[in-house]
């Protein structure tokens, strides 16, 4: 567990992918573009990161907003749009529930 702890960071979510053969750390998006993760798996992992309030750049060890992550190439434009849409839908749903007194 200690060997992966530094890749989890303080968020306890998966920050990236470590390629054992090269010891290189990749962002989730880069791992998807290289075929190491399926598009569905990478989107779920990125959405989980975004739900914590930021996207993690495991190469530079930074926490970024979704927009910053897209601008820096940590997340592609299409996944960025999907993440933002899911956040809008989630917050809209929560806001409506709060207004209804649930």
Domain boundaries, the chain: 2-99
Tell which wins on pLDDT, 19 or 81: 19
What pTM was estimated for this model as a whole? 0.63
The CATH superfamily label for domain 2-99 reads Plakin repeat (3.90.1290.10)
3-state DSSP assignment of residue 75: coil
8-36 tens-digit pLDDT: 454 556 788 999 999 999 988 899 999 99
Question: What are the pLDDT digits (tens) for 90-99?
Answer: 666 555 656 6
Dist CA 7 CA 19 (whole Å): 12
Q: Phi and psi dihedrals of 80, rounded to 5?
A: -60, -45
Between residues 43 and 1, the one the model is more confident about: 43
Q: In whole angstroms, what separates CA 57 from the centre of its chain?
A: 9
Between CA 102 and CA 39 the distance in angstroms is 35
């Amino acid at each position: 567990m200690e060997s992966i702890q530094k890749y989890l960071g303080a968020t306890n979510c998966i920050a990236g992918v470590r390629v054992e053969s090269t010891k290189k750390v990749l962002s989730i998006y880069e791992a998807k573009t290289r075929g190491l993760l399926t598009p569905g798996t990478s989107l779920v992992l990125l959405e989980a990161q975004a739900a914590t309030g930021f996207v993690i750049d495991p190469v530079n060890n930074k926490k970024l907003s979704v927009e910053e992550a897209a601008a820096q190439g940590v997340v592609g434009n299409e996944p960025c749009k999907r993440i933002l849409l899911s956040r809008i839908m989630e917050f809209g749903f929560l806001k409506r529930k709060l207004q209804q007194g649930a």
